[in-house]
Amino acid sequence: MQIKKQTLDFLKDLAKNNNKPWFNENKDKYLAAKENMEEFVAAVKKELDKTDSIDKAKVYRIYRDVRFSKDKTPYKKYLHATLNRLGAERRGGYYFGIEPGNSGVGGGFYAPNKDDLLRIRKEFSLNPEPIQKVLKGKKLKTYFGELKGEGVKTTPRGFTPDVPNLELVRKKQFYFMRNFTDKEVMSKDFLNLVVDGFHSIRPYFDYMSEVLTTDLNGESIL
């Protein structure tokens, strides 16, 4: 199973002709690209289910919600999907997106709610070694590099400037992302590359799941 050249070609053409008349005239090409994406994501899910439990794999709509946006182009220039883990005890989500020149694989915690964010920050500051060990894991670091995510410039309320792991404590997003060239995306090995990336991020998910399902004393909150 692989991403077809026609899928990327459709997205390239869509980026140049992002309007409803063109889209309607090329609806068959969109449906073929969508089917290709869905089949690829289903193949990824099948592989992940061998070592993880995936609740569902969702390929998102290509139609943009333009009601509150200055950009009124009606369609996304990319196809993207998430694979959500099953059960409250499994935290973290896998992400996969196809866009000519900007395809990517990743996962993590992109918009944690207020309670989760505070819990993460407290854990990183009070128990700094485990997260550092996870982030230095050879497979994770080789595949993705550094942990990404926006953060605040000042020390968050309730913490001091000398707190351990201050760089991590300042973050409000905690995710990994790796980009791929169009040639890599269309290769026969790309499915394995995606699955390998998701496998490499698993120790991070396991650690964060433990953090987010327990209190500071290590007692379950589920």
Mind listing the pLDDT tens digit of every residue in the chain (222 residues)?
999 999 999 999 999 999 999 999 999 999 999 999 999 999 999 999 999 999 999 999 999 998 888 899 999 999 999 999 999 999 999 999 999 999 999 999 999 999 999 999 999 999 999 999 999 999 999 999 999 999 999 999 999 999 999 999 999 999 999 999 999 999 999 999 999 999 999 999 999 999 999 999 989 999
**Per residue in 61-78, is it b (16+ CB within 10 Å) or e — as a string?**
ebeeeeeeeeeeeebbbb
Residue 24 CB neighbour total at 10 angstroms: 9
Structural tokens at position 23: 């889209």
Q: Cβ(116)–Cβ(139) under 8 Å?
A: no
Residue 136 CB neighbour total at 10 angstroms: 9
Structural tokens at position 122: 């407290």
Q: 118: burial class by Cβ within 10 Å (0-12, 13-18, 19+)?
A: middle
Which of 121, 105, 90, 94 is closest to 216 using CA atoms?
121
Q: Cβ(51)–Cβ(195) under 8 Å?
A: no
Beta carbons within 8 Å of 67's beta carbon, 6+ residues apart: none
Residue 139 CB neighbour total at 10 angstroms: 14
Q: Which of these CATH numbers, 2.40.50, 1.10.3470, 3.30.930, 3.30.70, describes 5-212? A: 3.30.930
| Phi-psi category of residue 80: left, alpha or beta, with phi > 0 → left and psi -120 to 50 → alpha | beta
